[in-house]
Amino acid sequence: MIKNNKKWMAMALLGVTVVTMGMIANGIAKVTKGEKRPLSTENWMEHVVKPHCKALKEEIAAGPKTDDDWESLIEHAEILNETSYILMDDKRCPDAVWANAATKTLRNGSDAVIAAAQAKDAKAAATAFKGMTKSCKECHDKHKEDH
């Protein structure tokens, strides 16, 4: 009986150890920044990605009319497009989900917004924007913790 208890204790201890190690590994795996450069992913998201994405959304909803309106769309989309490269730099990218969201969904989506704005096609711009923003959820679902 005592012997069995010891065995059970050892098993429980092993279980706790495995779970703890998993949590530590998970904490390390969380992508907060790249390897050498100081920029945190959170900082870029909050101060670059979010405001440009929001501006793009509002300007598309308002309906661009003048050349300056269309040019503004292109400028926001260019910055989001460049983000698709920055997110891959400095060993920031941890896996295929991240890579696909950045280099396919965000990059191609922002390219399509630029093309639509150059053609002054509001409907195509709205569709492209919708496609581009799929990248946010695609990456966040796996890599952004809900606080």
Residues 6, 7, 37, 50: which binds ligand HEC (CB under 6 A)? 50
Identify the CA nearest to 134 among candidates 112, 111, 109: 109
91 binds ligand HEC (CB under 6 A): no
Stretch that binds ligand HEC, among 10-18, 71-79, 116-124, 132-140 (CB under 6 A): 132-140
- Nearer of residues 48 and 122 to ligand HEC, judged by Cβ: 48
136 binds ligand HEC (CB under 6 A): yes
Distance in angstroms (rounded) separating the CA atoms of residues 128 and 111: 8
74 binds ligand HEC (CB under 6 A): no
Helix (H) or strand (E) holding 124: helix 122-143
Distance in angstroms (rounded) separating the CA atoms of residues 60 and 126: 6
Cα four-point dihedral sign 51, 131, 92, 79: negative
| b/e map 40-59, b = 16+ CB within 10 Å | ebeebbeebbeebbeebeeb
Least separation in angstroms between residue 9's CB and ligand HEC is 38
Q: Binding string to ligand HEC for residues 12 to 41, with x set by CB under 6 A, is what?
A: -------------------xx--------x
Residues that bind ligand HEC (CB under 6 A): 31-32, 41-42, 45-46, 49-50, 53, 87, 98, 101-102, 106, 133, 135-136, 139-140, 143-144
